[in-house]
Structures are given as C-alpha cells and as structure tokens.
Chain A
C-alpha cells in the first residue's frame, strides 16, 4: 500500500490538516505552535532536499536563508512596513540575491570544498546578523506583530496562521515536485548522477545548479519569513551552523531525494527533540546516538524503512 508514491504525501498533509482538531481536546496552543514550527522547518528541509537530494549539492549553510528571510521580515517591520506582501517580497529578494552571489562562487567548487564554502558563507551571514546593533545584535529583534494581510491582523489567530503555513507547505511541495519532473529537473538530476556524461551530451551543469540553488535559497528565505511571523522574534541563532546541520539531518532522516521525506524528517526530528527533552535536560546524550543509529541502520531514512516493511508484507 505504501508503495503508491502519492499516498504518503497525501496522508502526511491530511494528518497535518487534522492537528488543530486534536487541539480541541488537549492544550491547544502548545500543539499548534509545535506543529506550525514542524511545517515551517519542513519547508526549509524540502528546499534543501531539492538541491541535496536531486542535485547532490551538500549545502552546509542552508540555515542562512532562513535567517535572511526572517531578518528581512523583522527589519522591515521595525521600520513600520508590516504588510505581508512587502515582507514576503523582501524576504524572497534578499535570499535570492544571497543565493545568487554565494552560489555563483560555491558552485565553482566540488565535494568537500563545496560543503566548506557554503558553511563559510553561512557563518558570514550569522556573524553579520549578530553584529547588526540597530536590530538587536546578538540578542535578536522582537517583532511587534505578525504581517498584516491588507491591513488586517488575520494571521494573529494561531489557527489561521497554522493553515496558512500548511497551505504554504503544500504549495512548496507541489512546486518542487513540478520542478523535479520538469526538463530542468532532469538536467539537475543528470548532473548529480554523472556530470561528465551531461557535458558530453551538451549540458553545462553549472547554470542549472545555480538556478536550483537560488530556488532553494528563496524557499529557505520563505521559511524564515514564516518563522519570524510565528515567533514574532528574529535572532542570529536561526542561521547558526548547527541549524544548517539539523536541516541536513532532517532530510537524511526522512529519506533523501523524495521531497516528502524531508517533511517526515522535519517532523521526526522536532518531535523526538520535544519528547526527549521532556524526560531529561541531557536529552542530547540520547538524541545524538539515536541519530547515528538511524543513519546507520535505516538506509533511505524513515521512508526507506517504510518501503522495506511494506515490501516485506506484500512479499
């Protein structure tokens, strides 16, 4: 049953759509805000999967885009520009520009060097944000309220915001699915499998990889914009290298190169973190080895594991 490629994502989004209903019976705010966060990071993880899973571009600085999107929203708001459209356009434009410049340089390198240079750019963004005295520096920046939709405070309602984020997640998912299946997506995946072969048939991988990097960066920036809206707070911590690492772990944990795997990974990561930290403050001691075990023994991540057990059942 799980072999049907469309079933898992549909199931996944249906479950997410049902979360606010569960909130009717238990502590409302907590569950809603946890899952809103899951979905926002899932958007970022999907964008990373687009370049990591389909382009083999291991970006270790992807959290920078989250930060840039968040700061774009926060800085505009601090200057009184609280409109949704202005914030969104600014977040997308800023992250696109950063992706274009850093991608143009990073993509000249391969393998480990690509990882290191994206990490370096990520750290540059981090320290730049931390040095922005006017916008809170290390301490971050508090945003007065969520973005206004044509002047209304619609998004202040957590349920409305939840469904807006869910719609965004589904939109991003469908967009990436479309890109992956397009002509462009084929070239991107071809360059991942065998760049030499691609050159021999007449494709230079570079412009395709750069375009993918910019698209992924913009989606990352979009996630940052949503995150700033959810928390009404912006901080350099959004773009720490640990956060970039977590995004990679989410993608691998869920199942790389499938897009919805990134959603599962983001959910698994954040829920595990939440659950374990409820037991003990030293939860990372448990979480770390768990991640190692998952990577070691669940090849293909959670999705790969599901496919194997359903495959075993169906013979």
Chain B
C-alpha cells in the first residue's frame, strides 16, 4: 500500500474535563478522499485545528508524509504542503479575489521581505493566481474585492487559495456548509477532479456529498473514531447507524440511511 500523505497517531485533546479528541488515528492515502463525519459536537473542527496546527494536541502525533509535524506552527505546516479551508469562510476581504490567490502563490515563491517593486505588477504571481481562479471557475470575478463575493464564490475562492499553495494534502472543513445546490455540485466535481493530484481529508456534514465523493469514511462520535471503512461498509455498520445515521433517520430523513 502506498505510504499515507497524512497520518494521525493517537491524538488526544482535553478542554478541561471534556475529552474532545480521544485517541484518534487515521490516514489519508495518495489519491483518496478520506471523509470524517460525525454529529454536531463530535470534535470535527477541533480535530482539523490540531492537524493544521492551530491547536496543540495533549498527546499523539501528526505526520505529513514521514515528517512529524506535531510541534510545528500552522505556517510551517502550510509551507510543508498542508492546505486547509475553514468552516467559517476565511479570506482577505479587502483584497481582490486575484490578490487573495496571488498572496498564496507569493508564500511559496521567493522572499516576501521585499519592500520595493509592486506586488500587483508581478506577472509571475498574477498568472499563477489567475490559473487557479480559472480552475475553480472564478476568473471573471478576479478583480472583485473578496469581501463582496457571494458565499459560494468565497468558498470557491478558498479552494483556489488552497490550490495555489500546491499542497500535498488538503483539509476541507465543511466546504459544503451554506453552499447552494449548484455550488455544491461544482465543489463535488472539483474535488473528484483534484483528488488524484491532491488527496483530501474532508470533514463534512452533508451526507449525500460524503457518500458520493469519499473513498473512505471515518465516523467520529464524542471525539472517538468508532468506524472507518468504505462508504458502503459505513452505511451498513450497526454502531454507526445507532450513533449517527439513526439520529437523522429518527428525524424522518430516511434517504441518508
């Protein structure tokens, strides 16, 4: 089996007496989308924060490829090839869409301690950024301030920013949240197109999307992974149905189960 691009080994995190991450181990392998699902409060975002470095785990390790990055700051992990999106859209609102992406290009192309020369005039930055905007279908909105883009466009912009980092692996924190139907479809096809090149860890609430795009699914409940497997296996897993899918079934949304 190919070596995983991202692996978590025995991650633990407590907030006071509350154990929010409980001995979590999982892997993202080349070419796959590994989804993490779980009910609200299962600790999904906390997990993403620990992988990306915004939170430090109490125990356990995070590996990017073979490199232990557990003690690295978020920006160092980003430089090592880990890109992430945020559950609550996180862009630079006063910059244009193009500038947002160009800054991500700039991060991995030469020093940013350059005080002279217009950054907006650097063809290298702009053309690379424009290519990424095209990839997510946002090139016509390149000169629009990111703050006034629609919600779905901001989501797409986040993807373009992540792509511009040319990452080895991508963490997506509920990319479907708040996206309309069409935008959701676009995101799904984008993920499918990209996964061969950039494997992803997808944390998502939208079951339809998860079962469509994920190659493997892990189910997180109360900070603990209760099952990992192919989508069909997860659908059939009794513990999962009780813990999570059953909950939605009870609300009458039977098609997810």
Contact = CB atoms under 8 A, between A and B. Distances in A.
Where chain A touches its partner, the secondary structure class is helix
Where chain B touches its partner, the secondary structure class is loop
22 contacts: A181-B119, A181-B120, A182-B117, A183-B117, A183-B119, A184-B112, A184-B113, A186-B102, A186-B112, A189-B94, A190-B95, A193-B92, A194-B92, A196-B86, A197-B161, A199-B53, A199-B75, A199-B78, A200-B78, A200-B84, A201-B83, A201-B104
Interface string B69-84: 0000111001100011
Interface in A192-218: 193-194, 196-204, 207-208, 211
Given A189-B94, A193-B93, A202 B79 contact: yes
Given A189-B95, A197-B161, A199-B54, 17 more contacts: A181-B120, A183-B111, A183-B122, A184-B112, A184-B113, A186-B95, A187-B112, A190-B95, A193-B93, A193-B95, A196-B86, A199-B53, A199-B73, A201-B165, A202-B104, A202-B165, A203-B112
Contact of A182 (B74, B93, B114, B161): B114
A178 interface: yes
Contacts of A178: 115-116
A200 B51 CA distance: 12
Interface magnitude class on chain A: 20 to 34
Interface residues of B, number: 38
B54 A196 contact: yes
A188 to B, nearest CB: 10
B54 A182 contact: no
A204 B90 contact: no
A186 B99 contact: yes
Given A184-B112, A186-B119, A190-B92, A202 B73 contact: no
A194 B115 contact: no
B28 interface: no
A16 interface: no
